[in-house]
Chains A and B, each alone.
Chain A
């Protein structure tokens, strides 16, 4: 019998990059399906456009950089970026919005910095912010929940709206977004913000049609679905608990303090946790292994700072949601946080 000797490490992690990416994409499925159920199938069309564009851009840039195309393309990181961006934009946004976003995300934010593992910023959120400041109208035209629409939109109509901006009978998106009572609806976060600026209380704002008991109608279930997906990721040990827990904890704490101090103009914790991109951000975006902190203590600081920033920007800033801005700001702080939270190496430094 031959005994082969190998040097350590003897126990390898079985996770490859592509396996991780596929797990994360699978964990997105409940959220995507919920979004499709409440806000129409447009999100699936956006997904397909995004994935095709991402593959093409990634291949083109790898070719430019003289890198092997297939290994990098098949690790799925470009597709994950595509998925995350596609679920973040309004489901009936024109096709060129997602194309511009993906080109920027893959071409600039990811590949110009050296490809997977070298990007400073989260590609999907970088692209999201680019789109938000470039095309504010398209990026805030979220559909109200399906059953609040004056006339439901068929799948074919959604397709034609995305590609030609009008449906088969020539109605534009703005007309179609009009609800039963003839008003165009903003997202719940936006509605609350506008109402508070008009000296209404939050509870008055939440009497409107697009709200249910805790947060926006439909939005709360989308967030719950992403929470479920995120818990699966925790269970599968794809992500650590530090970032999501710190993020959600900090956001809940800040909004609770705000609510206690001034319940008239501040929505409570549950509203913040179940609105906008909170859960998607906490479990899928802030936990990006490349652009987030790498030490455990650092991850807690990273997550908590994002939570505080999300609250501050939502409550006092100019934009209704803030996950993308908060994540990008903290991406910049990552090298600093990592530097100050390096754990002590065994045998080095002072022992306690």
Chain B
């Protein structure tokens, strides 16, 4: 049980694919201009990650070591194709707005990284859990970054959520404030880099504070001094 818990902690915080491993930056930076896009890509990545982790884990004993990477990539590509066709069928608007970044999930290092580092060495149940947690960790960072950029850039949240969730979701759109001028940099790629940098900095601050709380600073021991003056 504790193994599941530690996997959860690793995926969501300690070894977060986006904030710590810095994997999969290409989609992370490219599609997080709105929460909807981020959510869509986060879910797609999560599905692919869980599917590929389970499959890799199931076939791990039959795959020769020498050709394991091509095999893993084929498995991942199969799942990406499934997700792509599903999105094309059910969330066509989002499919169009994510564009090339859906097929590019194949090259997301976070997925091949988990297949190689975890799923190829562990049983399917653990691998599935690892996939869920890593995928969730990635998706949460995507969504937070998307929210930051959408609020700063356009002053809205869940703009275009109906593309992902269907027509009812237009009520989700929240207009926090309106600008006469959009703060374009938040929506353009530089805003993604700045935002991700700030998120990583924020995580580091929290980590240092947790560490400082856990172990109070040890007072440096004073060097012993022998008195050598005024000796009578």
Binds A, one of B13-21, B140-148, B154-162, B177-185: B177-185
- CB within 8 Å of A: which residues of B? 181, 183-185, 188, 190, 194, 201
Q: Quick one: given A108-B194, A133-B190, are A138 and B184 in contact (CB under 8 Å)?
A: no
Q: How many residues of A contact B (CB 8 A)?
A: 10
CB proximity of B217 to chain A, nearest CB, Å: 15
Contact at A135–B181, with CB atoms within 8 Å? yes
Residue of A nearest to B185 (CB): A134
Task: State A134–B185 Cα separation when bound (angstroms).
Answer: 5
Task: State A138–B183 Cα separation when bound (angstroms).
Answer: 12
| List of 10 A-B pairs having minimum Cβ-Cβ separation, nearest first | A134-B185, A134-B184, A134-B183, A130-B185, A133-B185, A135-B181, A133-B184, A133-B188, A138-B181, A137-B181
Sample (5) of A-B pairs whose CB atoms are under 8 Å apart:
A108-B194, A112-B201, A133-B185, A135-B183, A138-B181
- Contact flags A82-120 to B (C-beta < 8 A → 1, else 0): 000000000000000000100000001000100000000
> CB within 8 Å of B: which of A38-69?
none
CB proximity of B172 to chain A, nearest CB, Å: 27
Residues of B within 8 A of A136 (CB): 184
Task: State A254–B185 Cα separation when bound (angstroms).
Answer: 32
Residues of B within 8 A of A135 (CB): 181, 183-184
CB proximity of A268 to chain B, nearest CB, Å: 34
Residues of A within 8 A of B185 (CB): 130, 133-134
Residue of A nearest to B180 (CB): A165
CB proximity of B75 to chain A, nearest CB, Å: 39
CB proximity of B224 to chain A, nearest CB, Å: 30
Residues of B within 8 A of A130 (CB): 185, 190
Task: State A135–B184 Cα separation when bound (angstroms).
Answer: 7
Task: State A135–B179 Cα separation when bound (angstroms).
Answer: 12
CB proximity of B116 to chain A, nearest CB, Å: 33
Residues of A within 8 A of B201 (CB): 112
> CB within 8 Å of B: which of A107-157?
108, 112, 130, 133-138
Task: State A112–B200 Cα separation when bound (angstroms).
Answer: 13
- Which of A134, A136, A137, A138 gathers most chain B CB within 10 Å? A134
Task: State A135–B180 Cα separation when bound (angstroms).
Answer: 11
Residues of A within 8 A of B188 (CB): 133
Task: State A136–B188 Cα separation when bound (angstroms).
Answer: 13
Residues of B within 8 A of A133 (CB): 184-185, 188, 190
Residue of A nearest to B187 (CB): A134
Task: State A262–B163 Cα separation when bound (angstroms).
Answer: 52
Task: State A349–B227 Cα separation when bound (angstroms).
Answer: 48
